[in-house]
Structures are given as structure tokens and as C-alpha cells.
Amino acid sequence: MGLIRNETTKKVGEVTVTAVLRSEDGSELEKAYTIVPVGGIRPGEPAPFSIDSSTPVNEVASIDWSVDASPGNDISRNFDVRVYDQIPYGVNEYKGIPREDKSYPYVLSTGIRNYGQNINTAKLVVAWLNQNNEVVWIETTSLSEAFSDGVKQDGSANFKDIVIEDKKIGSLLNNSQYMIWVVGE
């Protein structure tokens, strides 16, 4: 997991990150790639990515990274993002109210106000960072069912809650900062 940054002077559309894994003798072990979940990245703006490979870590001596981007398009990014609640993992009470979700997962409850054009759908991407500003987790969520008809200009909408049941990850997120992106189409 990591962050890319748009260091061009223009908004870019879809971004592909490629990692070529190499052995000690420089030979290519595997080529892995991923599409960055945030489109329409503005100049200077970072965006998260997560990339998987099947090669055992101990066989990898070096990684060659490359990034390709398509031109910016009409992806809407003009939203005010609201975090309604960030409920820590493992706590049985939140804001003085006993929790009903008895497994006490980590929950991030969010919404938007659409200050751009009408949109049919939207995606919210969250990256959590540790104290060294390293990405430790990424999640994506979509609009709640009640907003499946889209969101008009100046409308508000909620996203489906991000719920992390895993104890190790939930505990990690409790102590992490987060960055949020919203992409509408």
C-alpha cells in the first residue's frame, strides 16, 4: 500500500501503478499492477493504492515502480465530505450511548454534500496512515441504497458505513489518521 502524487500541472484521470518485482540477479519475478481507486486527481494531490503479488517477499530483492495516467476527464470531485462518526474498535459505548453492534467493530460513518454537477453515483475512498505517514489500510465504500438514484447539485447523501470487524486491523485504525477522497460520476 502507498500513495502516489500527481506532480503534473493538470488533473489526471485513471492512474495505473505497476510494480516489477526483481530477484537479486535482476531478473523479473513478477509484474503486478493496480488501478488507483481515486480518479480525477488534481495537481499536487496524493491518492492511495494497494497492490498485490503472489511472489514470496523473501525472493524479492528490488521493485521497479512506474505510473501511467490517462488525461483528466469529467469526474466530479466537488464535494464537502463529512465524517459523522469514527467509532473505535472494541469500545462498548460511543458518545455516552451503549453500542448495539455487540462485536464492537471499528466503524466510519460518512456523507457528502454535492457542490458540483448532478451525479449518478459516488465512491468514497479512505486511507489510514500511521505516525510515519505510511498507508496501513485502504477501504472503499459506495452510496447508501437510499441514494441509488444519484445526488443532484447541492444535495446531500450518506455512504454505507465502513465496518472493520478484524481485531488487529480495527485496533490499528483506532490509532491512525485517515485521508478521504470522494469521486462522483
Partner 1 sequence: MKKSRFLILTFTFLLTIGPITNAASAAKFGSGPLDDVFDAANYEAQYISDLTTNELAAIILAITWPEAAGGSTSVTPSPMTLSRGDGHSGLWSFENRSSSNSYKRAFWHPGIGLWQIDSAGFARELGAHDRINSAVAAPVVADEIAASWESSIGTDSERRNEVWQPWYACNNGACEDIFQQIYDSSNDSLNISRDYSVSSMGGMEETYCNTTYSYNTFTCYKIDPSQAEGYTGSWIYSPYEGDTSDGIPSPLTYSFWSYVQYSDEHRHWLGPDTGYNIDIRAIRDTADNARGNLLWYNSSYLCPEGNCPN
- Nearest of 170, 179, 175 to residue 107 by alpha carbon: 170
Measured CA to CA, the distance from residue 87 to residue 160 in angstroms comes to: 14
Nearer to partner 1, 116 or 150 (CB): 150
CB of 70 vs partner 1, minimal distance in Å: 30
Q: Which cell numbers hold the place of 166?
A: 478484524
Those residues whose C-beta lies under 8 Å from the C-beta of residue 132, and which sit 6 or more positions away, are: none
Beta-bridge mates of residue 41: 12
Q: Which cell numbers hold the place of 80?
A: 464537502
CB of 30 vs partner 1, minimal distance in Å: 39
Residues that contact partner 1, how many (by CB under 8 A): 30
Nearer to partner 1, 32 or 82 (CB): 82
CB of 12 vs partner 1, minimal distance in Å: 25
> Is residue 77 at the binding interface for partner 1, with CB under 8 A as the rule?
no
Q: Which cell numbers hold the place of 171?
A: 485496533
Q: Which cell numbers hold the place of 50?
A: 494497494
> Is residue 92 at the binding interface for partner 1, with CB under 8 A as the rule?
no
> Interface residues for partner 1 in 11-50 (CB under 8 A)?
none
> Is residue 57 at the binding interface for partner 1, with CB under 8 A as the rule?
no
Count CA atoms closer than 13 A to 57's CA, side-chain side: 1
- Which range in 10-18, 66-74, 124-132, 143-151 contacts partner 1 by CB under 8 A? 143-151
Which residues contact partner 1 (rule: CB under 8 A)? 80, 82-86, 93-97, 100, 109, 111, 113, 144-152, 154-158, 177
